[in-house]
Structures are given as structure tokens and as C-alpha cells.
Chain A
Amino acid sequence: MYRRWLWPGLALPGVLWLVLLFVVPFYAVLGVALGTVDPVLFQPVPIWNPLDWNVGWLNEVLGRLAPGGIWFDVGIRTIVYVVVALALCLLIGYPVAYFTARHAGRWKGVILILIILPLWISYMMRMLAWVNLLQEDGYVNQFLMFTHVLSQPRDWLGGSASTVIFALVYGYIPYLILPLFASLDRIDRSHLEAARDLGASRWSAFRSVTLPLSKTGILGGAVLITLPMFGDYYTPNIVSGAPNTSMIGNQIDLYFHGGPQPTIGAALTIVLAAFLTILMLYYLRSIHRAQREAGAVGAL
């Protein structure tokens, strides 16, 4: 008897914990977002029975996000920031992961540790480092003026979109390089040798063997940094703080911290979570396809 219950019994505390503090809380967001608001106190009144749910606030939020709504610009800006930051991360991260996996030789261990190191340094510490450097009289302005790129100091931290994107890239890129490295490191070198033996140039061997085989790493790393970037609010706050660089996360933050209506914040959270779930499903479908393709290349 106890043999049967040993393993589920071991899992029980963890499963219980996650149900109580992960599943139930998510339901609480639904209850608040689809609930009503006390007309006197303006406090959210959650509705727990799905049959009584009130979609009024959700519609309100969707209306604000639609073209012409007050959050339309914020939504588009969030997507643009995330897409540009993701592209830059891939552009910088792929060569680094590729070199480390393929050509680092006896330096591989050292480079790997140095690449992983930022993961163990607090995100806030790394942002603080750049806030120091980007001050009006900071090293970046000093350097750019010394090299005559700028004639006078530039205000980097006063609401510049490029600074926010730069900070996002700096903050999230280590999380992308690691899965990229793992997938590149797993590629069997004999595939490449075969391609070269068959007359493929270095570039075409890369394009037709390495790139398809690392697709799972690219997709995995991309989703790993895209999801948190969509929910980011602290990065734009730290390096800009101006309304013209605010993202969806900042709107959620605003409605909870000092904002008047948590119900709207909760509804916006639901919309964000739904959007990210769609992204996640798309990712799962592409990874499934990529693995099948990689299997086909591997079988050749």
C-alpha cells in the first residue's frame, strides 16, 4: 500500500504549495478583474463564481488597448521595444554562443564562466552600474566627448527610447546566450565535417547545418527573455522614468502602486497573461516543428 503512495506523497507538499500560492492567486486575479467595484469606497469586489463574471472592466481595458484607445501607443511601444531588444540580443548573443561552443578551445571553461557570471549578479546592480556610467558627467559622456562624437554631454537618462532598449538588451542577454550555447554545443561535429566534405563552404555549412540545428536554442532563448521583457516595468523606470518610454508593465504597476483602481490593473494583467500564453503556444508549436526538422537533418 505505502509503495503506491510513496511517490505521490513526496510530491504532495510541493503540489499543494503551488496550487495554493500559484494557481489560486491566478484565480484571484480573474476574480478581481471580472468582478465589480464598490461604488463608494472604489475598492474591488471580487466575484468568485465564473457564472456571475462581469466582463465590463475587461472590455474597458481592451478598448483602451485598441487603436484610438489611450493605451494603444503603450502597447505598440512595448512590442517594438521587446522585438528590437530581442533582435539585438540575438545579433550579439549568437556569435558569442557560437564562438564559445565551437572555437573557444582551451578557453572554453573560462569564457563559459565569464558568460554565466552576470546571471549571478543582481539585475539591479547591473542597472545601477549603467545609471552611474550614463550620468550627465559619467564615463560614457566623458568618453564620447573626448573622442569628439559629442560636443556636449547628452542626457541619456531623461526618457530616451534607445537607452531603454539598450538597458533591456544588457539586462536580458545572458539568459539568451546560455540556451543558445547549450544547443550549439550539442551539435555533432560530424554533421559539419560531412557538409564540408561534400563541398559546402564554411558559410553554407553554417546556413544549412548549424543554423537549423540550433533553432531550438534560438526559439527557447528567445521565449525565455521575451516573456519577462513583456512584463518589465522596472527597467524603463530606472533608466528613463519618463511617460514617453512607459511599457505595459508600467501601466500595471501604476494601477496598483498608488493608482486608483486595482480592478483595471488586474484586467490588464489578464490581457497581458493571455497575450503571453498565445506567444507560448506559438513557441511550443514551432519547437515541435524545429525538433522534427532537426531530426531530419540529423538523419541525413
Chain B
Amino acid sequence: MTTVAEPRARPQPSTLTRLRGWFRNPWGKPRFLGVFTWAYILWSIVPVLIAVQFSFNATRSRTAWDSFSTRWYWGDPVDSVLHDPSLSHALVQSFKLAAADVLIAVPIGVLLALGLARWRGRGSGTSNFIMLFPLVTPEIVMGVSLLLVFSHVFTFIETGTLAQLLGHVTFSISFVVVIVRGRLFSIGRQYEEAAADLGASPFVALTRVLLPLLTPAIVASAAVVFAISADDFVISQWLSSGGSTDTVPIQIYAATRAAPLPSVNAIATIMMVSTLLIVAVGFLTWRFFTRGERRAGTAAEDMGGAFNIT
């Protein structure tokens, strides 16, 4: 026979105690880490959102919010992105460089990745080694070396748009190789071997089997190249020949050191939105082509993996 104890009125734990219990619950998830992670995410993104907000400010201030306006995009007849030639020109220069970089670096990089993955023989080891260097060389070292090569060796190329483009392609190729090689590795060799068994020459197997399978990696690397080219400051600055070849990052850099107007926030916002759109398209294309192949979410890792060289 059991006696049920009279339920005693327990003192209600205070909010603070409950919060502490929620944090310290040894069977639950580590709450502290969760709060910490979300705080980190807010810290990394909110400042940028505030900068975007002030690009729509109606006054000249970047610190005191007045009211919403598109003045700094096209409204202001002198200082808006549309009407200030130095800003609109920088936007065109950035897009021009990024697009040309994609058109040159992606084909060269894809071919290099294919070659390095299948080429066994003299020179392949060295080439593999050289390919990795641009990924770990600080940009200032690359900037100095390109500036000096154009002023002392390839003297027929002057600093300016062409030199900037050559520089951008040089640091972009390795990113394409890393992304495409990852995909080649996950495809394996069986499709090519099946094609060869069915009588396809290596060239036919390459164009009819391997290249279609590489489509997601090619799209992803195009998006990555566009983003890193649009983001690049150092190479563009070292190889710039002055005002007409300044890109958006150079304009932002110059403006932050002077007394900037919200139009700088506006141009930075335009650049950011375009880059994010292109990366999102690349990401969705990758997901579309690789659907059913692997668990969801890895596309983000693969595209971010361009920065993960280890």
C-alpha cells in the first residue's frame, strides 16, 4: 500500500534560475553554444544591413537615419551613383572585369583541372604544385609581382584594364581548378570507362560524357569567379592606371578614407546584391543538376569549399 504524499507547494523558480537551468541542462543541447552562434551570425551580418539601410537615407548622413529615399541611387543630380561619373564608371569597370574574367578563367581552369586529373607523366607534378600557389600567395605579393612584370618584362602591356584582367584571371584559375577537380573526384572514372568500352575515343568520352557531368561545377565556378573578381581590391588597385580603371572596391576604399556620402553605401549595395544574386543562381543550378546525388546542404559546402583549400 502506498501513500501518496500531500503535494507540497513548491516555490516557483525565478526567471533567472529557470534561464540558468535552461543553459545548464546537461541532457539538452549546449544552449550556450547555440546562443553564441546566433550572436556571431548577427554580429557578422547586421552591420552590413545597417550599411544597406543608410544607402537609402534621405540626408547626407551615414550615422543619423532620416527617411527612406532613393536619392543616392539615382535621385541626386550630382552625387548619386547614376550621376556621379566616378561611381557609375567604377560599377561598369567592376562588371566588365568580372564578366571577362569568367569568360577566360573558367574555360582555362576547367581544361587545366581535366588535364591535371588525368595527366600522368613528366611535368604533371610540377604543374599541380604551381597551380596551388596562387591560392596561398598574399595578394600584395601578387600585386607587386604583376606590377613589376608589366613595368620591366612585358612592357608592351601597360597598367590599366588589360593588366587588371590578366591579374584577375591569374588568381581565378586556381579556384576553378579546385572546384572542378572536386567534382571530377566525386564522379569517378566509371562513366568514362563505360564510354571507352562502348567504343568512344577519349575525346568523344570527354565532350559527350565528362563535360555534361561537370556542368554543375562549371556553373558554380563561374559564380565563384564572378564573386572573387567583383570583390577583389588589391590586384585591381596595383594594376589600376588611375581614375578610369578604378573598380567599386577601390572607390569604397578611397571614400572611407575621405568623407564619404551615402552614395558609397549605395554603390556597395548594388555590387553586393548583384554578386549575391549570381552566387544564388550558381548555387541553385548546382542543386538542380546534382539533385538526388547527395544530401541537401552540401552544395553550400561545395561552393564555400572554394575557400577551403585544405
Contact = CB atoms under 8 A, between A and B. Distances in A.
Contacts of A3: 202
B185 interface: no
A42 interface: no
A6 interface: yes
Contacts of B116: 11
Contacts of A17: 108, 169-170, 173
A132 interface: yes
B141 A15 contact: no
A119 B307 contact: yes
Contacts of A260: none
Contacts of A28: 145, 148-149, 152-153
Interface size class of chain B, counting residues whose CB lies under 8 Å from the partner chain: 35 or more
B170 A125 contact: no
A133 B256 contact: no
B233 A123 contact: yes
A21 B173 CA distance: 11
A96 B249 CA distance: 29
Contacts of B256: 124, 127-128, 131, 238
A210 interface: no
A46 to B, nearest CB: 5
A96 to B, nearest CB: 5
B5 interface: no
Contact residue range for chain A?
35 or more
B265 A128 contact: yes
Nearest to B126: A15
Contact of A139 (B37, B50, B140): B50
A139 B238 CA distance: 34
A103 B34 contact: yes
Nearest to B271: A122
B68 interface: no
Contact of A18 (B121, B173, B296): B173
A25 B146 contact: yes
A99 B119 CA distance: 41
A29 B140 contact: no
A269 B249 contact: no
A99 B36 contact: yes
B54 to A, nearest CB: 6
Contacts of B279: 120
Contacts of B272: 121-122, 125
Given A21-B166, A31-B152, 9 more contacts: A6-B203, A15-B123, A99-B30, A125-B272, A129-B51, A133-B47, A137-B64, A178-B304, A178-B307
12 contacts: A10-B114, A14-B112, A14-B115, A15-B123, A28-B153, A95-B33, A122-B275, A127-B256, A132-B265, A179-B308, A230-B138, A272-B140
